[in-house]
Amino acid sequence: MADAAGSAGNETLLFLTDDQLRKGIEAMFFAYRGFTADPDRILGDKGYGRAHHRAIHFINRSPGTTVNNLLSILGVTKQSLNRVLRTLIEDGLVESRVGTRDKRERHLFLTATGQALESELSTAQRNRMRAAFRQVGPDAVVGFRQVLEAMMDTEMRRHYVRLREAGE
Amino acid sequence: MADAAGSAGNETLLFLTDDQLRKGIEAMFFAYRGFTADPDRILGDKGYGRAHHRAIHFINRSPGTTVNNLLSILGVTKQSLNRVLRTLIEDGLVESRVGTRDKRERHLFLTATGQALESELSTAQRNRMRAAFRQVGPDAVVGFRQVLEAMMDTEMRRHYVRLREAGE
DNA sequence: CTTGGAATGTCAACAAGGCTGACATAAAAT
DNA sequence: ATTTTATGTCAGCCTTGTTGACATTCCAAG
């Protein structure tokens, strides 16, 4: 453990065994269910699904974002996203404004109602993550984020980093 | 860990700010797409989906497991799982043997063909995780797993731990 | 032993949310 | 003027969740 990086003995690479990797895989699977469980409950009660949550989350993060930008973040087809956006707009959670510079673009914003739902969802999700973070401490959290970032596709990492910069 | 709870200095808890938590949430979202991307490609080519992968994975981990046990691990309805199992059995990837003690139960096993697909899928998934692990080092990996475990529902953590024990 | 309930698994039908393909519109770019 | 881009829509398909109805098997209480 102590000589992890330097010694280059074969013990150093024990964390790369198939067994360790499999545990990481199963941990991802089970943890992701926990990660989505609380929002899923809230959404189900209101007749929405995970797809609506994702749209709401990223519109909240980048108010005024275009449909096209949202598409590349979410990695779905426009038809699929459009179905979700249509219901959110009809229900008055999202507002779609025609672009001023480029009138082909639609800029998306959360309404007050949309912000309320966003807040309810993200509060629930943050509560669970806060409990986990607090339980394991800051060093573990750093490792957690490092592994996740290394596991992303480069395209997705681009979006992730762009959002981080915007948020700070 | 030692001073996280006790010292109560405000610097100590900076990793619990809403901003840090939001980053963790987005990291989970983007990383999970990477996590499933490679298996999804392989499965798509063969006419299967993520549900088939999950079934195959856990049957491989616990050969002879019952449908009921698989249900509680996967957290879906028996009807949903049954559809997936039926296609896997029809295609000769999974074998279902009637229980000897209790003839209501079906015990599930991977056939040679099923094991071949399992191996292909888990190799692809392990390769990505290995690359990520190697990139960040063993300490980060420990933190990664600690956070994930803390984020699981207790029910899911039970399954996770039970699988760990069986594997070691 | 029989019978009723519990456990297990199967079949049918429906909904959410992915997907592709085709097409319309408006605006920008060439 | 023509082409390209951004967006929206319709139709139809697939996977994978759901509930409801039902068959089989086991077990336990009468």
- Bridge partners, A95 (sequence order): A109
Least reliable range by pLDDT among A11-20, A29-38, A76-85, B19-28: A11-20
Distance from CA of A97 to the nearest CA of B (A): 26
- Grouping H, G, I as helix, E, B as strand and the rest as coil, residue A14 is helix
Q: Taking residues B40-62, report their average pLDDT.
A: 95
Q: Are A95 and A86 in contact (CB under 8 A)?
A: no
Q: Is the pTM of this model over 0.85?
A: yes
> What pLDDT digit, counting tens, does each position of A30-43 carry?
999 999 999 999 99
Cβ neighbourhood burial of A155 (10 Å; 0-12, 13-18, 19+): middle
> What pLDDT digit, counting tens, does each position of A128-159 carry?
999 999 999 999 999 999 999 999 999 999 99
Residue B96: nearest nucleotide (C-alpha to C1'): C9
A62/A13: higher pLDDT: A62
Q: Per CA to C1' distance, which residue is closest to C28? A: A102
Average pLDDT, rounded, for chain B: 91
Q: Is B143 in contact with A148 (Cβ distance < 8 A)?
A: no
Q: Is A126 in contact with B75 (Cβ distance < 8 A)?
A: no
* Residue whose C-alpha is closest to residue B61's, from A19, A67, A75: A19
Least reliable range by pLDDT among A10-14, A70-74, A160-164: A10-14
Buried b (16+ CB within 10 A) or exposed e, A28-39: bbbbbbbbbbbb
Contacts of A18 in chain B (CB under 8 A): 126
Q: Which nucleotides of D are covered by protein (CB under 7 A)?
A: 5-12, 14-21, 24-27
Report how far residue B138's alpha carbon sits from residue A147's, in angstroms, rounded to the nearest whole number: 10
Contacts of A122 in chain B (CB under 8 A): 22, 25
Where residue A23 falls among pLDDT bands split at 50, 70, 90?
A: very high
Q: Which two tokens stand for residue A148?
A: 């996740």
Strands A106-110 and A94-98: antiparallel
Q: Per CA to C1' distance, which residue is closest to D23? A: B104
Which residues, including other chains, have CB under 8 Å from residue B63's CB and lie 6 or more apart? B108, B109, B110
Which residues, including other chains, have CB under 8 Å from residue B130's CB and lie 6 or more apart? A16, A21
The pLDDT of residue A5 is 45
> What pLDDT digit, counting tens, does each position of B30-41 carry?
999 999 999 999
Residue B72: other Cβ atoms inside 10 A: 13
A104/B120: higher pLDDT: B120
Distance from CA of A91 to the nearest CA of B (A): 25
Nearest C-alpha in A relative to B35: A151
The pLDDT of residue B53 is 97
Strands B65-66 and B106-110: antiparallel
Q: Which nucleotides of C are covered by protein (CB under 7 A)?
A: 7-13, 16-22, 26-29
> What pLDDT digit, counting tens, does each position of B65-90 carry?
999 999 999 999 999 999 999 999 99
- Grouping H, G, I as helix, E, B as strand and the rest as coil, residue A91 is coil
CB A53 under 7 Å to nucleic chain C: no
Contacts of A152 in chain B (CB under 8 A): 30-31, 33-34
Report how far residue B51's alpha carbon sits from residue B49's, in angstroms, rounded to the nearest whole number: 5
As a three-state string, the secondary structure of chain B is: CCCCCCCCCCHHHHHHCHHHHHHHHHHHHHHHHHHHHHHHHHHHHHCCCHHHHHHHHHHHHCCCEEHHHHHHHHCCCHHHHHHHHHHHHHCCCEEEEECCCCCCCEEEEECHHHHHHHHHHHHHHHHHHHHHHHHHCHHHHHHHHHHHHHHCCHHHHHHHHHHHHHHC
Number of residues written out for chain B: 168
